[in-house]
Structure 1
Amino acid sequence: MKTYVTFAAAALAEIAGCFAFWAWLRHDKSWVWLIPGLLALAVFAYLLTLAETDAAGRSYAAYGGVYIFAAVAWLWAVEGQRPDRWDILGVAICLVGSAIMIFAPRSA
């Protein structure tokens, strides 16, 4: 469960950092938005190193499912666009895939 908490925090930091760049480039916000954006992206990268997995690639792949969930939550909470049933189905499929990767028994 600690891995999912770490992934959730990383996803929030990554989305916030990327959104700062999006706001700067797509919504004509000040370049000052890049400062917290870069800091958030650095926090994101650090948080991914805390995941309790033995392989970076597996950690990043499993994180993808949590990121997709967080991105759809951001869509709704920040951008005001309610996810449709296809968004929800896609998120569910990704979270199942993520759980399989994280919790699957592995031989030593």
Structure 2
Amino acid sequence: MPSPALLLIYGGAACAEIAGCFAFWAWLRLDRSVWWLAPGMVSLALFAWLLTRVPADVAGRAYAAYGGVYIVASLVWMGLVEGQRPDRWDLIGAAFCLIGAAIILLGPRSG
């Protein structure tokens, strides 16, 4: 089971990345002001910094495991911010992604 600190790091990173990317989406696709980019860039920098806090032996493994968390967080964002409820296929896919992320990050390593 992942530690609460790890869950907070990954959760915070996901929120920061999605918010940062959404700022760019809002500017380019929703015709928002260019000023949306400033907090978006700060949010993306926070995302990158948070991922460096993951206690993993190599960066690639931390990033790969984060992918599953990002997928779940994106579906939560879709429901809360965009008002679109994830369907059963979204939820089934997210469950598989979280299982894969747990195997990548928590699986026993030899050597």
Same-fold call, TM cutoff 0.5: yes
Runs of 4+ in 1 over 2 A off after TM superposition: none
The match for 1:68 is 71
Q: Answer yes or no: is 1:38 the counterpart of 2:41.
A: yes
Alignment TM-score, normalising by the size of structure 2: 0.95
1:77-101 CA distance string (max 9 Å, x none): 0000000000000100000000111
| Identical aligned residues as a percent | 59
Alignment TM-score, normalising by the size of structure 1: 0.97
1:15-58 CA distance string (max 9 Å, x none): 00000000000000000000000000000000000001010011
Q: Determine the C-alpha separation between the residues in 1 that align with 2:65 and 2:50.
A: 14
RMSD (Å) for aligned C-alpha atoms: 0.7
Q: How many equivalent residue pairs?
A: 108
Gap regions ≥5 residues in structure 2: none
The match for 2:9 is 6
